[in-house]
């Protein structure tokens, strides 16, 4: 009787990928991109790092699909909530900015 051999992940390869993504995140902060582009790049790299950790160190890559769906569901809900609350956060930032501008003293006289 033959046993199915599961290939074990090469942890040093995953380590170097995660290290490279971390260095890329640090580098993106110093690039002259608009804030929105920088934020989207950082969020994308953070999500890919989280996926690597979940797949290899939490062994989701080698589990049944149902367990992966169970682990992925809170992530999807989190993304949904962030995008649903984003208009409220942006409206609050605009409101605070308008309040600061209205309190500015005119020193041109």
Could you tell me if residue 2 is inside a domain?
no
Could you tell me if residue 108 is inside a domain?
no
**Do 43 and 88 fall within a single domain?**
no
Predicted TM-score (pTM) above 0.75: no
31 with 42: CB under 8 angstroms?
A: no
Which tens digits make up the pLDDT trace of 47-102?
Answer: 899 888 888 887 777 777 787 788 788 888 988 888 888 777 777 666 655 555 55
Q: Which domain holds residue 55?
A: 7-62
What letter would DSSP give residue 60? G
Contacts 24+ apart (CB under 8 A), 30-38: none
Q: Which SS3 state, helix, strand or coil, does residue 30 take?
A: coil
pLDDT band for 109, please (50, 70, 90 cuts).
low
28 has a pLDDT exceeding 90 = yes
Of 47, 40, 39, give the one whose Cα is nearest residue 21.
47
**Structurally, how many domains does the chain consist of?**
2
**Bigger pLDDT: 12 vs 92:** 12
**Do 48 and 13 fall within a single domain?**
yes
**Do 52 and 26 fall within a single domain?**
yes
14 with 58: CB under 8 angstroms?
A: no
């Amino acid at each position: 009787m033959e046993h199915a051999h599961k290939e074990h992940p090469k942890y040093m390869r995953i380590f170097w990928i995660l290290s490279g993504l971390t260095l890329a995140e640090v580098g993106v902060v110093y690039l002259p991109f608009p804030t929105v582009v920088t934020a989207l790049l950082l969020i994308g790299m953070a999500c890919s790092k989280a996926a690597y950790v979940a797949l290899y160190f939490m062994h989701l890559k080698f589990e049944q699909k149902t367990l992966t769906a169970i682990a992925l569901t809170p992530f999807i809900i989190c993304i949904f909530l962030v995008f649903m609350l984003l208009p409220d956060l942006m409206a609050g930032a605009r409101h605070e900015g308008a309040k600061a501008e209205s309190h500015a003293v005119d020193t041109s006289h």
